[in-house]
Amino acid sequence: MPSSLLYRGTLGLAILSLGLAVWHLVAWPQFPTPHFTARQLTVVEPGPPEASPTTIALELTATPSPTPPPEEPPPQRRYTVRPGDTLLGIALEYGVSLDQIMVANSLSCTTLLRVGQELVIP
């Protein structure tokens, strides 16, 4: 009879596989797909039987996908910290991620909020 360690290992692999599958669905489209364009195409028609067969020379060069013009940054709001506030609560209230608030205000996981502190809400 298999041990519980085998079951835990199988469950761990299933969770890891699911995480990788989700990452492929979410993160993979962010990588640009190169577009190939033909630069030169030379075709030599065959001549008499003693001539060489048809020769095709094709040079492909990869060009990056066109980048969209930069968007204007959205207006930033300010929030004054009140008693009992948490970064997660503020993020949920404004519909932004916790990481976005932390980056916009140069905060770390160990930073304590002070009542009256002004935060930038991206």
The ranges assigned to domains in the chain are 77-121
Q: Please indicate, yes or no, whether the overall pTM of this predicted structure exceeds 0.75.
A: no
Mean per-residue pLDDT, 67-82? 81
Predicted pLDDT at 82: 92
Average pLDDT, the chain: 76
Confidence of residue 35 (pLDDT cuts 50, 70, 90): low
What is the CATH number assigned to the segment(s) 77-121? Answer: 3.10.350.10
The answer to whether 42 touches 57, Cβ cutoff 8 Å, is yes
Mean per-residue pLDDT, 9-29? 80
Give the start-end residues of each E strand in the chain.
35-44, 55-63, 77-80, 118-121
Centre a 10 Å sphere on the Cβ of residue 119 and count the other Cβ atoms it contains.
19
Provide Rg for the chain, Cα atoms.
Answer: 29
Identify the residue with better confidence: 73 or 13: 13
Q: Which residues contact 57 (CB under 8 A, 6 or more apart)?
A: 40, 41, 42
Predicted pLDDT at 115: 92
Q: How far is residue 26's CA from residue 100's CA, in Å, rounded to a whole number?
A: 18
Mean per-residue pLDDT, 2-7? 78
